[in-house]
Every structure is written in C-alpha cells, then in structure tokens.
C-alpha cells in the first residue's frame, strides 16, 4: 500500500470503511452509502483486486477521497455522536459484517455526477444510480 496519509494505515477495516463512506457519500441517502460500501466488498470478492479490505480501499488512485489533494483530515476526529458519522458507520458495519446483503447490482466502480464522467465509464451503462452516484460493473 502506498498512501501518504499514515493515520489510515493504523485504522481497522470498519473504521477505514466508515471514513471512506463519509468522504465519498456523506451527503447521499442511506442506500447510496450502503452501495458505496458494497463496491469495496464487491472488489474484495473479485480476483482483480486484493483480498483484504484495507488493501482494496487504499490501493493507489482507486478512491479519490484518499488522494492527498482531496482527503479531509478533520473526518478522523469527527464525533461518533455526529448523525452523519453514525449513518456512515451503520452502512460500513453492516456491509463489512454481511448483515446488509445489497450487492449494488455487483458494481465495482462508481463516480459522483458532480464531476465529469471519468474515462473508465465512457461506453458503459450504469447498473445503478442512487442520489448523485452512478455505479458500474466493469
């Protein structure tokens, strides 16, 4: 793993997944948060990606929230009583422990419609759209 954000390396998988969900989908509805977490799980179950949660999440250039230019370090000190944190943690915990079975239609990629369509999405149809996220199975 090559990440310039050392605090992430010492986090356990559920806390790191919670941070990913917060940074990637905090303003999305609960189903959108769950779908984002499911993308990580779907990659974990795909031989093209590593077989450990942390390695999937921190793989270079895979989740923009962990790029130094986009990372918001204040999320690491956010109160666990914060409603957004609790909902994101609920999604992460449920997906990680397989309590939530939604596969997000087997999506392994997504992007926010707040940004231009990424190169990898061109020519592909989304399998799911929730809030401002489009999900793809590539």
Contact yes or no for 81/11 (Cβ under 8 A): no
pLDDT tens readout for residues 89-138: 999 999 999 999 888 999 999 999 999 999 999 999 999 999 999 999 99
How far the first Cα of the chain sits from its last, in Å, is 23
Strands 128-130 and 109-112 come out as unpaired
Q: What is the mean pLDDT of residues 75-82?
A: 88
Residue 45 reports pLDDT greater than 90: yes
Residue 68 reports pLDDT greater than 90: no
pLDDT tens readout for residues 46-56: 999 999 999 99
Q: How far apart are CA 20 and CA 16, in angstroms?
A: 6
Lowest mean pLDDT across 20-24, 31-35, 63-67, 73-77: 73-77
Mean pLDDT of all residues belonging to the chain: 92
User: Which residues have CB under 8 Å from 20's CB, separation 6+?
Assistant: 36, 37, 40, 57, 63, 65, 66, 92
């Amino acid at each position: 793993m090559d990440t310039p954000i050392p605090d992430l390396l010492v986090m356990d998988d559920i806390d790191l997944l919670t941070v990913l969900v917060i940074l990637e989908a905090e303003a999305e509805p609960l189903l959108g948060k769950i779908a984002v977490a499911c993308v990580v799980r779907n990659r974990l179950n795909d031989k093209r990606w590593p077989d450990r949660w942390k390695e999937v999440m921190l793989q270079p250039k895979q989740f923009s929230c962990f790029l130094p230019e986009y990372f918001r370090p204040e999320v690491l000190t956010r109160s666990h009583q914060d409603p957004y944190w609790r909902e994101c943690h609920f999604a992460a915990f449920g997906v990680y422990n397989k309590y939530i079975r939604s596969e997000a239609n087997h999506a392994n990629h997504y992007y926010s419609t707040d940004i231009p369509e990424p190169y990898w999405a061109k020519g592909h149809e989304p399998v799911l759209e929730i809030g401002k996220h489009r999900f793809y199975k590539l």
